[in-house]
Chain A
């Protein structure tokens, strides 16, 4: 452990194109972009499926099937298709981020009490109004939990970018292993720094998004916190 602190205390390990600061920035960048892209891609479809109920089973099956895709295999397969660069990373991370957002959003909308929906319709609300003003606010905690699950998984998995020669916090792990953890204390410290960095970032993501959810729930007057499992 002392080797780790000594390694971390050296400013040279933080700056420059191979420094930890750069790697941290890359990691957050990959994870944020992939999660955001997955949300933009999935939310409109998932809200529509949830509201109409059409294709609900299909959506849930697709979501559950998607969870079975091994990201490591997908990133290598995408590398052979797209070559060196960020595309394979985003293909793999977006595929990882889609299922929880999809399943939670559909289930969140579906679980809204049908009587409330009928009452809204009875008051003369149009279908889009029912979705936006009634279903979405009630489903929001479950929907947010889906995004949080995706974000944490993506942060933890973005380490794989280093396997195909890109950056992120996987870089010090892969480089440290290649430089030999048996004889080289600096390499060992490098691997630990990367691994702990990813773990910390995952925990912070979980906490940060949970705090956002609580804030949202509080402003909407709902105190319950729902999570979903299958």
Chain B
């Protein structure tokens, strides 16, 4: 330890310089995309990058995709938990990742700016999604039977006290209730915007938390929020004794889980491998796997691979 004498003004100049550099860095243009030829070369060597957004189901399904590809001899890089769709979809377009699991309805409404083209018809919605993705050179493979929609969840106490069973039941109480969900929810046509438009729910406050993860659970459990945006395939809802309010108006469309893949990374073999996963993946199966991860703290990759073995998709 030593004491040094220091000019009183030096600190502030360093601070000012840091600020100037920060501003300069922020205003700099966008970073150039990766050289496409590089991606192609990597792919010839059998390299493929699997991504996912930021909640456990995504990590489980992406782990399934990664495991079957790896088993078939691909050199798989896993880039999971990257952020919301708003982060992951541009990463797919740029080629930072080659594929990730999507949900047909929300993906379509994200791409078309909330035009309401997504319906409860899985096939029609998937077709529309294929059209929307085609211009971006991204292929939409076969959707799984498994669905995971946005849903509103309250505690048992709140449900009993306010006599809530359906989403519409919230209407007369919404002005006194705090709604918590992922930070991107207010900008999403099937999230806060949709609940305001279709159900006329005007909540007292929106609290930005996480994608139906531990922060949302803790806030709901402790009563810091009254209503939480969660996902219908989350086993943790039943485990905690919470109530998933029934959809009694048409807001949430078909949300089948589907692999979306860059066409420059797509071969017949990749397509077959990923479609084989979709063919076996049911809502019941994914809900059970979600429960193992969310409630029991199991590792998403282990849960995914155990299921693939059970289904004979992995040796």
Contacts and interface: CB of A to CB of B under 8 A. Distances in A.
Given A142-B3, A182-B86, 6 more contacts: A107-B3, A181-B86, A183-B86, A183-B90, A206-B11, A226-B3
B86 A84 contact: no
Nearest to A60: B1
Contact of B206 (A18, A164, A196, A228): A18
Contact of B224 (A85, A107, A227): A85
Q: In which size bucket is the chain B interface?
A: 35 or more
A187 B85 CA distance: 14
A154 B33 CA distance: 36
Given A174-B183, A199-B19, A207 B208 contact: no
B81 to A, nearest CB: 13
Contact of A199 (B18, B27, B90, B209): B18
A229 B2 contact: yes
A178 B86 contact: yes
A222 to B, nearest CB: 13
A181 to B, nearest CB: 8
A23 B26 CA distance: 21
A214 interface: yes
Contacts of A1: 26-27
A203 B14 CA distance: 10
A190 to B, nearest CB: 10
26 contacts: A17-B205, A18-B206, A79-B214, A111-B3, A142-B3, A165-B210, A177-B83, A178-B86, A178-B208, A179-B84, A179-B86, A179-B187, A180-B184, A182-B86, A182-B87, A183-B86, A184-B86, A196-B22, A203-B16, A206-B11, A206-B15, A210-B8, A224-B5, A225-B5, A228-B1, A229-B4
Contact of B12 (A165, A200, A210): A210
Contacts of A178: 83-84, 86-87, 182-184, 208
Interface residues of A, number: 45
B222 interface: yes
Contacts of B221: 83
Interface in A66-109: 79-80, 83-85, 103, 107
Interface in B201-252: 205-210, 214-216, 218-219, 221-222, 224
Contacts of B214: 79-80
Top 6 closest pairs, chain A to chain B, by CB: A180-B86, A182-B90, A178-B183, A84-B218, A165-B209, A175-B183
B6 interface: yes
Given A225-B6, A228-B3, A165 B208 contact: yes
A225 to B, nearest CB: 4
A18 B203 CA distance: 13
Interface in A129-163: 142
Nearest to B12: A207
B23 interface: yes
Given A180-B84, A224-B5, A174 B90 contact: no
Given A179-B183, A230-B1, A210 B83 contact: no
B4 A171 contact: no
Contacts of A179: 84, 86, 183-184, 187
A183 B85 CA distance: 11
A42 interface: no
Contacts of B222: 83-85
